[in-house]
Structure 1
Amino acid sequence: MSTVFLISANTNVEPYPVYPIGMSVIARALYEAGHKVIQYDMLAAGNSLAHLRCAVAKAKPDCAGISIRNVDNVDSFTSHTNRYVHKAKLIVEALKEAGIPVIAGGAGFSLLPTDILEYTGADFGVVGEGERKMVQLIERLEQNKEVKQIYGRENEIPGDEISAPLWDKQLLHYYLKESGVINVQTKRGCEHSCAYCTYPHLEGHKIRIRPIADVADELEMLCNYGADNIFFTDSVFNDREGHYLQLAEEIIRRQINIKWCAFFQPGPIEKDELIMLKRSGLQAIESGTDATSDATLKGLHKSFTFDEVIEFNNRCVQQRIPCAHYVIFGGPDENMDTVREGIANMNSLRNCVVFSFSGIRLHKGTPLFSRAVREGLLDHDKSLLDPFYYFSPHLDKDEMNAALTAGFKKRRDRLFPPDEGQQRINIMKRFGFRGILWDQLIKFDDISEKTPTTQSLLDSTHEN
């Protein structure tokens, strides 16, 4: 059996450091196949190539795997300075100095496998879910059999066979200290068809649910390690079949004492459902609203209207559940009229935070990429290793950005450009706050649950 050195290349800490569960899921599969596995996190290890070289020399592995979580930071204002794959290239070069084969994988790699493999110099690549393919690839290397350079998409792993990560105690301690939030996946796949989204490409259109008992067992185990703040990383937590409600019921039944947050799609949700979710520990909701008017929601192939967004937000306010809406301006069918309508719409939402972005990072295989090609914005064969952002041809992006800046500048809970929100979160971090943090920007109309210290801090972030 082989000694496998796994590396999480992600060193991004915005909005907060995120435990590398992708690497740990692969570690579990390799461990159960009998291999010796070493998990190495660049962020937790101080982001030092020299330290990495020493760790590899000490471990003397037979091969290495590098998990590339993101290609860039998907911010059209700053992406030219945040090309994460360059760091991955340096890591691969350090690994190859040890004379071992390097296997690349992860969500970021899976979006641009050929380009990233060539750019980084990795020997092999695994696209999509890697648990089974990684085990098979290493077995073939052990047996000196022919190995494909890139292992592409295969049939998705059934939900009841998706295992928990091989949690590393030292890494858990690090992320609990640095962010206080640990991420857990309850399902894979996305049943929606948003025009720009890569989730169906990465995980498939069919929802695959992990057994509720397995997820609850994992939550109990994490609680024993001191984790009480969970972010469910599903593409959309509130699935149509209601499995998320079954999980909430099980958390309540077992009396698992956690606070949690997740991405929801805005839409019909009943008062009693929100009450039960709060009983299970729901602390806040992040909403994939994406667009800000009926015209642009339709352009992104969203399945709801803005009236439904308003109703969803009102339901959250009634239960005093902080809600953050993530929206993108400049998408399909956007023009200055819809921009102004969108600003007014988002400012009309009560007691919530709005994270606004300008332009949509394109990826091949999405309907929006095909539309951009049809509109003559780029060639079909263009490499997207350097980010290309879609902006509707019906507007001037500089005029749009100026309107967004002016439209949101007097609101501390309306964050644009994206780095403004991060600056406020960084201030709260320096004062010792942990968790999702943006919920601290919300003050409900009838009561204030903020302490004077927190409130004064929020005021100072707004002034900054």
Structure 2
Amino acid sequence: MPSIFLISSNTNVEPYPIYPIGMSVIAKALQDAGHKVIQYDMLASGNNLDHLKKSIIAANPDYAGISIRNIDNVDSFTSHTNQYIHKVRQIVKVVKGLRIKVIAGGAGFSLLPEEILEYIGADYGIVGEGELKMVRLISQLENGDEVPAIFKPEEGIQGENIPLPLWSEELLKFYIAESGVVNVQTKRGCENHCSYCTYPFLEGHQMRVRPPENIADEIEILYAQGADNLFFTDSVFNDRNGHYLLVAEEIIRRKLNIKWCAFFQPHKIENSELKLLKQSGLKAMEVGTDATTDTTMKALHKGFTFDDVVDFNEKCIAQKIPCAHFVIFGGPDETIKTVNEGISNMNSLRNCVVFPFSGIRLHKGTPLFTRAVKEGLISPDHPLIDPVYYFSPLLDKDEMNTALLTGFKKRRDRLFPPDEGQQRINIIKRFGFRGILWDQLIKFDQPEK
């Protein structure tokens, strides 16, 4: 059987280093199919191309797979030069210089497969879930079959069949030491229809949930390796059917002594549910509030109002659960009036952190991209490998950014602009804290400043 050298290309450490779970899931599928697999992480290996080359030569693989997690940092305040993909291009050049075929994949690749494949020079690409497609591609190449350059999305793997990652003991040690957080996925898919989001394209609208018992088994494996601080990486953890509550109940039943965080949507939630989640180890919530007024929430196709956000936040305060609200200014139907209203709304939220962003990164296939084309803001065939941001034609971007800087400048818990917020988090990190870090900005027993 051929051997495959898998490479995680992500070297971003903001807000903290993240274990390359996608690579390890592919590794597990390949190993189960009988292949020898080597997992190589650019960040953990020092981000050194010479070290990569020597490692590949020593392994002498038949194929290489490269995982692309991000294509940029979605921050319109920073340079639009895409250093993320440029680094991937350098990695591919090293591998192909050794006459090894390269297969690209990952969430970042799946956003712009044709553009990225051409730019980085890989031989093949896989869009969406890659476990089955990667195994099939290797088999077809070994048989000498004619294969397409890009494997398009297919029907997703059902929850009970989603494989465990092939956790690397070496990489776990590195990420536990560097960030203190390890990722776990409890489901795939997203039931929402947010106008800017790519999740439905990558994973579908149907949520495919893993059995809570399987999730708990995985947590026990990780805990034995020293991982007691987890992040559930689902698109949304608190699904409408309540699978997340079953996961919490199983954690409690197993008496797993962990702390965890996840992405939540600010829908209606009961106090009893929050108590259950906290009992299971919920440490903090990252909340996809996304917009800041009822007008802009509706334009982004959110299924809640700002009153719902307030209610959600207050209930979390009652349980002393730290929340971070991630919001975007400048989206559809935004005006300077809604900007000012949104600043006031976000500053009115008590005992929480807010991460505001300016503009929305455009991706083809989303309703927002279609709207941007109709509004004449972008042509249908405009390349997007370098980021292009949507800003409402109803406002002046510079006026909005000035308002945001003024509106949030006196708040230590309002992290704008994003790079300044990261600097504050880095300060916390230097004091020896590990984990999501922003939760250290919230002190429930002290008056807000």
TM range (shorter): over 0.9
Partner SS, residue 414 of structure 1: coil
2:228 counterpart of 1:224: no
Q: Residue 23 of structure 2 aligns with which residue?
A: 23
What code does the residue aligned with 1:134 have?
A: M
Equivalent residues in 2 for 1:349-368, closer than 5 Å: 349-368=349-368
Partner SS, residue 142 of structure 1: helix
Equivalent residues in 2 for 1:56-95, closer than 5 Å: 56-95=56-95
2:372 counterpart of 1:372: yes
2:199 counterpart of 1:233: no
Query: Displacement, 1:82?
Result: 4.7
2:261 counterpart of 1:261: yes
Deviation per CA, 1:64-100, whole angstroms, max 9, x where unpaired?
A: 0000011100000114245311100000000001101
2:214 counterpart of 1:214: yes
Where does structure 2 lack aligned partners over 5 or more consecutive residues?
Answer: none
Q: Percent identity?
A: 70
CA distance in 2, matches of 1:381, 1:246: 45
CA distance in 1, matches of 2:414, 2:78: 19
Equivalent residues in 2 for 1:75-154, closer than 5 Å: 75-154=75-154
CA distance in 2, matches of 1:83, 1:302: 32
Q: Residue 317 of structure 1 aligns with which residue?
A: 317
Range 95-104 or range 143-152, more displaced: 143-152
Q: Residue 400 of structure 2 aligns with which residue?
A: 400
CA distance in 2, matches of 1:13, 1:447: 31
Q: Residue 388 of structure 2 aligns with which residue?
A: 388
Deviation per CA, 1:176-207, whole angstroms, max 9, x where unpaired?
A: 00000000000000000000001101110000
Change (3 A) 1:81 1:423: farther
CA distance in 1, matches of 2:7, 2:102: 10
Query: Displacement, 1:339?
Result: 0.3
Q: Residue 48 of structure 2 aligns with which residue?
A: 48
What code does the residue aligned with 1:230 have?
A: L
Deviation per CA, 1:386-443, whole angstroms, max 9, x where unpaired?
A: 1100000011111100000000111100111011110011111122110100000012
| Aligned-residue CA RMSD (Å) | 1.1
Q: Residue 157 of structure 1 aligns with which residue?
A: 157
TM-score scaled by length of structure 2: 0.99
Count of residue correspondences: 449
2:414 counterpart of 1:414: yes
2:283 counterpart of 1:283: yes
- Judge conservation of contact 1:316–1:323 (CA < 8 Å) in 2: yes
Partner SS, residue 303 of structure 1: coil
What code does the residue aligned with 1:350 have?
A: R
Deviation per CA, 1:344-376, whole angstroms, max 9, x where unpaired?
A: 000000000000000000000000000000000
- Judge conservation of contact 1:252–1:279 (CA < 8 Å) in 2: yes
2:189 counterpart of 1:189: yes
Q: Residue 242 of structure 2 aligns with which residue?
A: 242
What code does the residue aligned with 1:105 have?
A: G
What code does the residue aligned with 1:22 have?
A: G
Partner SS, residue 72 of structure 2: coil
What code does the residue aligned with 2:145 have?
A: K
Change (3 A) 1:82 1:439: farther
CA distance in 2, matches of 1:87, 1:338: 39
Partner SS, residue 141 of structure 1: helix
Partner SS, residue 80 of structure 2: helix
What code does the residue aligned with 1:10 have?
A: N
CA distance in 2, matches of 1:243, 1:412: 35
Q: Residue 335 of structure 1 aligns with which residue?
A: 335
Partner SS, residue 296 of structure 2: helix
- Judge conservation of contact 1:73–1:82 (CA < 8 Å) in 2: no
- Judge conservation of contact 1:73–1:79 (CA < 8 Å) in 2: no
- Judge conservation of contact 1:183–1:232 (CA < 8 Å) in 2: yes
Where does structure 1 lack aligned partners over 5 or more consecutive residues?
Answer: 449-458
CA distance in 2, matches of 1:7, 1:435: 24
CA distance in 1, matches of 2:212, 2:8: 28
Q: Residue 4 of structure 1 aligns with which residue?
A: 4
- Judge conservation of contact 1:264–1:286 (CA < 8 Å) in 2: yes
CA distance in 2, matches of 1:181, 1:79: 29
CA distance in 2, matches of 1:340, 1:424: 25
- Judge conservation of contact 2:82–2:385 (CA < 8 Å) in 1: no
Q: Residue 455 of structure 1 aligns with which residue?
A: none
- Judge conservation of contact 2:82–2:386 (CA < 8 Å) in 1: no
CA distance in 2, matches of 1:149, 1:82: 23
